[in-house]
Amino acid sequence: MQHRSTLMKNKNSILLPSTFFNSDFKIKIEKLNCSKLDTVYLFDHAVNPVNRSKDVYKLLDGFEILNSCLSEKKNIGSCVLNINSRNKYELTKNYIEKFIQIKNFKLGLGIGDLLYESTKKFKNKLDGIIEEIISNKSNKLGSIFLGGNSQIILDTSIKYSLGINQWLGTNDQFQKKIKLYKEIKKPKGSLSRCVGLNYINHELDFIDYEKIFIFKDTNTEKFLETVDMIFK
């Protein structure tokens, strides 16, 4: 597996809002291309996590656009792909096998929860999915990481030497992940945390981790201003 350095000191990334592609997306992508950010992430939700009346981009369409427009200037990735929201065939053939063909793609995986949606869940085995990815000879991924706080996520991260992501949460929760990540030898992904736009945490300044800023749905002008503010 090809991957960049997994200790990502001072690297900041963006998680795009659900309506990102609805208007002026070429202007917004050009702004991202010119900004000092590491990775552009899309999230995997069937409904808008903030407002159910708003659209959510289609994951595959979004990645196709990002892959063609961002070229090799920025990494792209999923944060996170729910392995239990689709049957095994669809998950593997229509999503994972396409993503591993994208150079330096940062594949975030999760097992799903009921925080934002209550859809029928499948029971795909996390171990099996990861073993298929790792053994695939055409794998061009930049990294693999798992998101979530359940014990199976934490145990699997250690078992397969994967990266670990935390969605918001407390410093205490993240400190546990920091300690866990230090136990992983030659991790295949980074330690990261999804954070709000006003995130400041000098307590963790000494830690090497990727900050993934969660952008909210807004107009183009506000989006561009916020990108300038965060990714100077």
- Domain spans of the chain, in order of start: 12-230
Cβ–Cβ < 8 Å for 1, 141: yes
- Under DSSP, the state recorded for 114 is S
**Cross-strand pairs, 82:** 110
Number of continuous H segments (helices) and E segments (strands) in the chain: 8, 8
Reported as a single tens digit per residue, the pLDDT across 190-221 is 999 999 999 888 777 778 899 999 999 999 99
In percent, the amount of the chain with pLDDT more than 70 equals 91
Residue with the two structure tokens 């997994």: 6
Q: What is the CATH number of domain 12-230?
A: 3.20.20.30
pLDDT category at 182 given cuts 50, 70, 90 is very high
Reported as a single tens digit per residue, the pLDDT across 159-175 is 999 999 999 888 888 99
- Name the pTM for this structure: 0.91
